[in-house]
Structure 1
Amino acid sequence: MILLVIDTQKLIMTNNLYNFDSLVPNIEQLIATARKNKIEIVYIRHDDGPNTELTEGKEGFDIYEKFQPTKDERIFDKTVNSAFKGTGLLEYLKEKGTKKIVVAGLQTDFCIDATVKCGFEHDFHMIVPAHANSTEDNHFMSGENSYKYYNEWMWPGRYATCISMEETIKEMEYN
């Protein structure tokens, strides 16, 4: 099992996210539980490329201060929605024999969705804890509706096991 923390970067970790006040402590709890139980944490950062605010060298590219990785935790950078495409993550996890991935981070309707579905297609058991991913309002849906659409309808029973934080913590403690 690993904990995959996706795109929790300073530029996009804002109060505009749905349920921000629950999201932050939930991800903090997942990180603390993983470290306590010696579960590897892998961070993913999104890079929009040169001349953007979400690129290496810009402050917004850095991981949110409350989720800082330790020097031993791996970081993979990506340029598309899926954490698996062209990052080396897939090969790394296959080499380690990883079977289960707990997914947390941003954004529900972009990179979390793509990563959950791609992870499923690569035969990983994807676990999505409740209120440990989020997104902003868009032209079609509120952040809340996007969150509910994926976490309560799209992923469960298809691409991922979507469970409460409490169930996820128990799963991590008995890994």
Structure 2
Amino acid sequence: MILLVIDVQKLIMTDDLYDFARFENTVGKLICAARESGTEVIYVRHDDGEGEELTKGKAGFEIYDGFKPQPSEKIFTKTVNSCFKESGLLEYLREKQVKEVAIAGLMTDYCIDATVKCGFEHGFSIIVPKHANTTTDNEYMTGKQTYEYYNGFIWQGRYAHCISPEETIGEDETLKKSALGN
């Protein structure tokens, strides 16, 4: 299994995100636990392109200080919602024969959703730890409603196993194996 941390960039890591403090705490714990267990942590950043604020060379493009990658950790860059399209990530995971991908990051209704579904379509067993993704309010739903809709209805049992962070990081191997169908 690898832990894939998506779009946790300075520009968009703000208090406007639904349940920001819980999200920040959960992702931080997942990263620490993954490192302690020897699970590879991989980061993906989004680049909106030249002239935009979320682009290489701008301060907001960089990964949030609270989740800063270690020098040995891989960072991929994408220009579309799915982390698997034209970023090199898919090829890297296939080369390493990765079977399970735990996904954390931003935004629930954009890049997390696209990555969960595309990862599933590419044959990965997808794990979405609870409270490890979030988003902002939009004109149709609050951030909370969006989070609950995707995590509780769209992904669970269709595209992913939405389980607790404790199950994800293996604090309870019995529950983790049960949740993953092993």
Q: Please give the alpha-carbon distance, in whole angstroms, between the structure 2 residues aligned to 1:172 and 1:111.
A: 29
Give the SS at the match of 2:115.
helix
Q: Please say if residues 33 and 172 of structure 1, whose CA atoms lie closer than 8 Å, have aligned partners that are also in contact.
A: no
Q: In the alignment, does 2:34 pair up with 1:34? A: yes
Q: Please give the alpha-carbon distance, in whole angstroms, between the structure 1 residues aligned to 2:82 and 2:124.
A: 14
**Structure-2 residue corresponding to 1:82:** 82
Give the SS at the match of 1:76.
strand
Q: Please give the alpha-carbon distance, in whole angstroms, between the structure 2 residues aligned to 1:132 and 1:115.
A: 14
Shift of 1:170: 1.6
Once the two structures are superposed, what CA deviation does each residue of 1:57-99 show, in whole Å capped at 9, x if it has no partner?
0000000000000110000000000000000100100010000
Mark the runs of 5 or more structure 1 residues left unpaired by the alignment: none
Q: Please say if residues 37 and 172 of structure 1, whose CA atoms lie closer than 8 Å, have aligned partners that are also in contact.
A: no
Q: Please give the alpha-carbon distance, in whole angstroms, between the structure 1 residues aligned to 2:127 and 2:14.
A: 24
Q: Where has structure 1 moved over 2 Å in runs of 4 or more?
A: 171-175
Q: Please give the alpha-carbon distance, in whole angstroms, between the structure 1 residues aligned to 2:96 and 2:116.
A: 19
Q: Please give the alpha-carbon distance, in whole angstroms, between the structure 2 residues aligned to 1:52 and 1:24.
A: 25
Q: Please give the alpha-carbon distance, in whole angstroms, between the structure 1 residues aligned to 2:170 and 2:41.
A: 17
Give the SS at the match of 2:170.
helix
Give the TM-score of the pair, scaled to structure 1.
0.97
Aligned pairs for 1:72-111 within 5 A: 72-111=72-111
Q: Please give the alpha-carbon distance, in whole angstroms, between the structure 2 residues aligned to 1:89 and 1:142.
A: 31
* Amino acid paired to 2:54: L
Give the SS at the match of 1:73.
coil
* Amino acid paired to 2:111: C
Give the TM-score of the pair, scaled to structure 2.
0.93
* Amino acid paired to 1:48: D
How many residues end up aligned between the 2 structures? 175
Aligned pairs for 1:105-120 within 5 A: 105-120=105-120
What is the CA RMSD across the aligned residues, in angstroms? Answer: 1.4
Q: Please give the alpha-carbon distance, in whole angstroms, between the structure 2 residues aligned to 1:172 and 1:66.
A: 26
Mark the runs of 5 or more structure 2 residues left unpaired by the alignment: 178-182
**Structure-1 residue corresponding to 2:151:** 151
Shift of 1:168: 1.2
Once the two structures are superposed, what CA deviation does each residue of 1:89-137 show, in whole Å capped at 9, x if it has no partner?
0010001000000100000000000000000000000000000000000
Aligned pairs for 1:1-175 within 5 A: 1-170=1-170
